Amino acid sequence: MIRQAALFDLDGVLLDSGPAIRTALAAVATCVTGRRTTPADLPPGALRRPRAEVLTLLGVTDPDDACTRWWDGALATALPSVFPGVLTGLLALRAGDVALGAVTLQDRDRLTWFLPPALTDLLDVVITRQDAPAKPAPDGLHAALAQVDVSPEQAVFVGDSPGDMTAARAAGVLALGATWGWHPPAALHTAGARHLLPDPSHIGLSLLHHLTPIPAT
């Protein structure tokens, strides 16, 4: 029986999706306004803002409709890659009989083409915003842990946003901040990260070292 779990956010933690999302934002703005927009034209901190806010700043008057029409097509032209070291770390966790999962704000119907197959094959569960209330609510983490039958006290969650840290704390899961993501380390610390991870090579069995040891049986 699996007794421990490592859960992850996708964007900015497992997936280097920042360039793809910036390209998609620029493409949607171009389609709507008729003016060529490039990633260099995006406002500062675009990845940390809601996409509707960014598109509004770029002159898109109805960002929700624009995303319904063009977002997936634009995103599919610049798919993300897995951060270096992530697959090696996940393989080490799996070899240690650790359950692996992701809790993401991505849409469920996007995952079949958005996630690289090598990553999909390693995840036991993926919870999207269609499956449970979105982070910072803890529901998605609880849903993931229920599927792999692991208690919150024996799980970690690696995220790159304050909302990720809030969700982990509310779920009773050890909150670990990924400093290679989209938010500064200070924001993760303030939001309650127990530890800050400096780069993706720290994904591995060492994530579980701070959990309460499992009693010998």
Q: Cα–Cα distance between 193 and 159 in angstroms, integer?
A: 9
Strands (E), the chain: 5-8, 15-16, 81-82, 99-103, 125-127, 155-159, 174-178, 195-197
> For residue 67, how many other CB atoms are within 10 A of its CB?
20
Tokens of 207: 């994530």
pLDDT score, position 3: 85
Residues in the chain: 217
Q: How far apart are CA 67 and CA 22, in angstroms?
A: 14
- pLDDT tens digits along 5-45: 999 999 999 999 999 999 999 999 999 999 999 999 999 99
pLDDT of residue 111: 92
Rounded-to-integer distance, Cα 146 and Cα 157, Å: 14
